[in-house]
A and B are shown apart, each in its own frame.
Chain A
Amino acid sequence: MNWQSVAAIYRFEMARTFRTLLQSIVSPVLSTSLYFVVFGAAIGSRIDQVEGVSYGSFIVPGLIMLSVMTQSITVASFGIYFPKFIGTIFEILSAPVSFIEIVIGYVGAAATKSLMIGVIILITAHFFVDIDIAHPVYMLGFLVLTCVSFSLFGFIIGIWARNFEQLQLVPLLIITPLVFLGGSFYSISMLPAAWQTVALFNPVVYLISGFRWSFFGMADVPIGWSLLAIAAFLALCLAVIWWIFKTGWRLRN
């Protein structure tokens, strides 16, 4: 493993984040606050409790997952698409680095950024509602796994995309609906029975449910399933990336 090169890529990518540090911090803080005003105050005043947890607190894990998933995909896909677009990818391809090292550098940087955003949201939420984290280690583990696996997914999209439209297509058409329908702002048990069954086909449900369990010790689906879901998603992304690596697909034409 050539850690010097990995570190170079990681640092270069993080520099991009720090160049826009203000924007990187302000926008999640702002959007979280808005969610609390709209969902917490307006809707929360009608729902007040979900399975023994105040609605304001209840939405915190979903809110974090929503941001972390979309940010991971956006940052990671842009991170690798941009060099392809402006042509600087030639240097990465001609460097003595393996694909695995490229992935660790780019995905590591994207995951770091979304992890930072997740933590910022958690801290911001703290100012609005009380949050007790029942299983902090699981919470952190889930958060990191989600950041990493969705950054991997974003990386794949960035390599696949041939233009900016395609780059935004997957997050917009697939991820956003799955996340919103995945129980970010409600418990699956609040849905009509038929929809509960449908929801179980949404992989994001398992992730949000597992993450929420680490906060409140209660979940829509057993925690084991959630762990399985995130592991499966991670494995799938790794397999696709391994295949891209083998074939040079869309990289070494």
Chain B
Amino acid sequence: MSARISIKGLSKVYASGLTALDNVDLEIEPGEILSLLGPNGAGKTTLISIICGIANPTSGTVEVGGYDTIRDFRNARKLIGLVPQEVSLEPFETVINTVSFSRGLFGLPRNPAHIEKILRQLSLWDKRDSKIMELSGGMKRRVLIAKALSHEPQVLFLDEPSAGVDVELRKDMWETVRALQEAGTTIILTTHYIEEAEAMADRIGVIRKGQILLVEETAALMQRLGRKQLEIELQAPLDAIPGSLSGYDLERKDERTLVYAYDTQSERTGITRLLNDVQAAGLQLRDVQTRQSSLEDIFVDLVKEDAA
């Protein structure tokens, strides 16, 4: 099967002269969850806006389901559901009217049963007759999701779905997303968080300054770049790393803290052995914590790899 979304040579220069997208090529496969990972201002929202028809591209083409998003916008857009980054809803309208409106807007006949199913799924059914302005922020975000799902899209864009959403709801949302994927929906979500991309995505695209640096299977990318650090805090200060620990890739962050970098994907992390050896060296532990490599670490690694 050919790509669900095919982006070729896409660039966007805003009226201000700022280049938000710089010759982007990207293919998104049917039924996959692709995560666009990038820092603030990377161009994630701009990319989504162009695919969805909210912004015009400066150059390049986008096809969704084989339909050009400009020449054949009707067929292309029918396939797409969008949950935007910004929560924007008509404040005085009720939940159910707002969601039903979206379905009609996309040219589909009324289907109260479908709307009910979505609202129940997103725990909004009890709030169906409330006005939008009477909802909490998290509920509003769910209304946006309900709107996007109301017209049964085959491709769903979630622009930073976990912003301002509590842990419980985030879990629910991820479950909803997985269920959609099982039903065959292609999903593109943007995020700043590696953990989120790792947990959700089949593939991760890393974007920075309007350029896609790479697109890779999540597992492969994590293997290559996903490192964790173990920080060992000691009771007593230490002048140098004892000779018995010289076999480990250890770094002395300060006189009380040792940092051990390890690969999360490898069979053996070596943590148990290290901790045993630390104890054997007569060092007393005060605290231990792990930290996932940040987006910034990944960029540093990528740039290093590029240079190599």
Contacts and interface: CB of A to CB of B under 8 A. Distances in A.
B54 A86 contact: no
Interface in A11-27: 11-12, 15-16, 19
A96 B109 CA distance: 14
Contact of B77 (A83, A90, A96): A96
B193 interface: no
Interface stretch (B23-31, B87-95, B271-279): B87-95
B90 A88 contact: yes
A207 to B, nearest CB: 33
A5 B106 CA distance: 6
B74 A252 contact: no
Interface string A79-116: 00001001110111111111000000000000000000
A252 to B, nearest CB: 5
A26 to B, nearest CB: 19
Contacts of A93: 52-54
B1 interface: no
B101 A12 contact: yes
A243 to B, nearest CB: 15
A16 B92 CA distance: 8
A162 B73 CA distance: 27
Nearest to A88: B88
A95 B97 CA distance: 17
A7 interface: yes
Which one of A2, A12, A98 has the greatest number of beta carbons of chain B within 10 Å?
A12
A16 B101 CA distance: 13
A94 B74 CA distance: 10
A44 to B, nearest CB: 41
A87 B88 contact: yes
Contact of A2 (B15, B97, B107): B107
Contacts of B103: 8
A217 interface: no
A80 to B, nearest CB: 13
Interface residues of A, number: 27
Interface stretch (B78-86, B168-176, B181-189, B250-258): B78-86
B103 to A, nearest CB: 8
A2 B101 contact: no
Given A5-B105, A90-B84, A96 B73 contact: yes
Contact of A86 (B49, B88, B106): B88
A97 B88 contact: no
Interface in B146-176: 147
Contact of A8 (B54, B84, B104): B104
A248 interface: yes
Size category of the binding interface on chain B: 35 or more
B281 interface: no
A237 B156 CA distance: 37
Contacts of B52: 90, 93-94
Contacts of A7: 104
B141 to A, nearest CB: 14
Given A86-B88, A96-B78, A252-B56, A91 B107 contact: no
B108 A253 contact: no
A4 interface: yes
Given A94-B82, A248-B56, A252-B56, A86 B104 contact: no
A92 B88 contact: no
Interface string B39-57: 0000000000100111110
Given A90-B82, A93-B54, A248-B56, A4 B88 contact: no
Contacts of B78: 96
Nearest to A82: B90
Contacts of A157: none
Which one of A5, A86, A93, A94 has the greatest number of beta carbons of chain B within 10 Å?
A94
B14 interface: yes
A9 interface: yes
Contacts of B49: 90
B130 interface: no
B54 A96 contact: no
Given A90-B82, A95-B77, A96-B78, A4 B104 contact: yes
A4 B106 CA distance: 8
A252 B89 contact: no
A9 B105 contact: yes
B102 interface: yes
A8 B53 contact: no
A252 B55 contact: yes
Interface of A: 2, 4-5, 7-9, 11-12, 15-16, 19, 83, 86-88, 90-98, 248, 252-253
15 contacts: A2-B74, A4-B108, A5-B104, A7-B104, A12-B90, A12-B93, A12-B97, A90-B52, A90-B84, A94-B54, A96-B74, A96-B106, A97-B107, A252-B56, A253-B15
Q: 5 tightest CB-CB pairs across the interface, nearest first?
A: A87-B88, A8-B104, A96-B77, A94-B52, A96-B74
Given A5-B104, A15-B97, A90-B54, 12 more contacts: A4-B104, A4-B108, A5-B105, A8-B105, A86-B90, A88-B90, A90-B52, A91-B147, A96-B78, A97-B107, A248-B56, A253-B15
